[in-house]
A and B are shown apart, each in its own frame.
Chain A
Amino acid sequence: MATLHTQSTARLMMSPSVILLLAWMLIPLSMTLYFSFLRYNLLMPGMEEWTGFFNYQYFVTDPAFTAALVNTLVLVASVLVISVGGGLLMALLLDQPFFGRGIVRLLVIAPFFVMPTVSALVWKNMLMHPVYGLFAWVARGVGLEPVDWLSSAPLLSIILIVSWQWLPFAALILLTALQSLDEEQMEAAEMDGASALRRFVHITLPHLSRAITVVILIETIFLLSVFAEILVTTSGGPGYDSTNLSYLIYTQALLQFDVGGASAGGIIAVILANIVAIFLIRLIGKNLET
């Protein structure tokens, strides 16, 4: 029974959060939108002028944009496949009874807590370095030519690093969901003679479908804006081979000081992210009903 009095108190209690978030969202976003229609470079102060859709045209027709868009999509898709696929297998494995389960679980989720700059630099130097890296040592050990990961396969290297960070996340979420699976239903199916594969397809997978969807959507949101890992390893290179949309906009903004162009790119990134966000919000909203 919410009376009029408690309702106004409730509104008062909510207002700081609502007002601050509204300001945090609306002010910068409308500024970005406004800048995106200006010719505005920090190196030429006082020269701002309205240019309509020029920035968008410039940004979208730049070959770097196409490269960055493709890289962004490849990065997101590859990491999703590796982390969700690997995470699912990992969760199924960790759900089995075995010795030291608790400890292995801790080992597996650990990479998720490592800050992005550290994971990127550790992989870049100590693992992927073509001369002193551990991968090079292993390659020489089995008689192969060591690979200079970051310059010959820059995007793949970044995919590996980012997957290493996100596979634990998927494994952790899916394991949690797996543990809420009804044991009795499984046993009943087992007694009815359903094979392990059939039990997986007909009971486990449907049970996990919601968790898998949540993992995919949340990871997509974070993966669309991978930044630090690229900055400290390849700096987007060689050329634009490992530049994603976030990194491209960053170079436009803080290296070339082109506020207008970067803002147009920012708006494009916002639109791209929103497409994903709509699905995610619907999904979570559905859960809220129950």
Chain B
Amino acid sequence: MARTVSTQRKAAVTVLAWVIGLLIFFPILWTVLTSFKTEGEAIANPPSFLFFDWTMENYTEVQERSNYLRHVVNSVAISFGSTLIGLIIAVPAAWAMAFSPTKRTKGILMWMLSTKMLPAVGVLMPIYLIFRDLGLLDTLIALIIVMTMVNLPIMVWMLYTYFKEIPADILEAARMDGAGLRQEIVYVLAPMAVPGIASTCLLNIILAWNEAFWSLNLTAASAAPLTAFIASYSSPEGLFWAKLSAASTMAIAPILVLGWFSQRQLVRGLTFGAVK
């Protein structure tokens, strides 16, 4: 028996949900709108919502004034670099734990998780000093290393929960049919593991892209990713809201789209498999 919902009730829920949804989304919408205004219109009072002279000049000016592209490249390098290195380290570990678990596997997983709970500020000073002494402050290498380590536990965990869902029987079957280890991996396991690996990468890219603590503390002008670059708008000489909005829109748009596509995997990754 399907539950019947009265049309009236459905209409009421529709209105309520849309109003709340739009309210929550509003700051983002407002940022995007402001990015197409002139600086004068951005602070106009009363504010103009849609009827203003749409302009693209903020987008070009942000690039001209601050070499925006450089920070985009930094963000891409850090998030993709740390994801790739993390993957190389995490896949074998997760694989081993999922397919040949021992008595200690669970303990190791729990311990890895506990490292994620170490507050960054507790190790700020040593990390800062180590990188300073190695001459790595404000370099991409430093941030890639930090981001890889910060997200490694999540990667191992998430891959582990995906790998565990691959039925071990299928390996037996392949072996019976005379498949060697290489064939086993290439033809049987890889196709089944790819979706899990892809979602793990996606989550890791999102997390690394939006990370702010280490980005702000370990970088200055040259290696600053977008999170740190945007922070430089916090003490503007004058009000540059339209440019701030343009810089922000470009910084959040790609991740917002990625995030929208990966909601489910995100739930799983962020709760360490506790909620699927």
Contacts and interface: CB of A to CB of B under 8 A. Distances in A.
B191 interface: no
Contacts of A281: 110, 113-114, 117
Contact of B25 (A13, A32, A107, A231): A107
A25 B129 CA distance: 15
A181 interface: no
Interface string A38-50: 0000000000000
Contacts of B212: 115-117, 227-228
Interface residues of A, number: 109
A125 B244 contact: yes
Contacts of A29: 118, 122-123, 126
Nearest to B206: A113
A241 B256 CA distance: 33
A124 B248 CA distance: 14
B81 interface: no
Interface string B92-127: 110111011110001011101111011111111111
B227 interface: yes
Interface residues of B, number: 98
A137 interface: yes
A118 B117 CA distance: 24
Contacts of A98: 10, 13-14, 17
A253 interface: yes
Interface stretch (A57-65, A74-82, A167-175): A167-175
Given A100-B18, A113-B252, A173 B271 contact: yes
Contacts, number: 311
Contact of A263 (B100, B125, B153): B125
B186 interface: no
Given A28-B127, A132-B239, A121 B16 contact: no
B259 to A, nearest CB: 4
Q: Name, among B17, B120, B255, the residue most crowded by chain A CB atoms within 10 Å (CB to CB).
A: B17
Contacts of A249: 121, 124
Given A177-B275, A284-B113, A284-B272, A122 B30 contact: yes
B32 to A, nearest CB: 10
A173 B239 contact: no
B102 A32 contact: no
A54 interface: no
B24 A111 contact: yes
Given A2-B100, A109-B259, A17 B275 contact: no
B256 A17 contact: no
A112 interface: yes
Contacts of A104: 17-18, 21
Given A218-B270, A250-B121, 18 more contacts: A9-B100, A10-B99, A31-B125, A96-B17, A97-B10, A107-B24, A108-B21, A111-B28, A115-B251, A117-B228, A122-B244, A125-B239, A134-B30, A232-B231, A263-B125, A284-B113, A284-B272, A287-B274
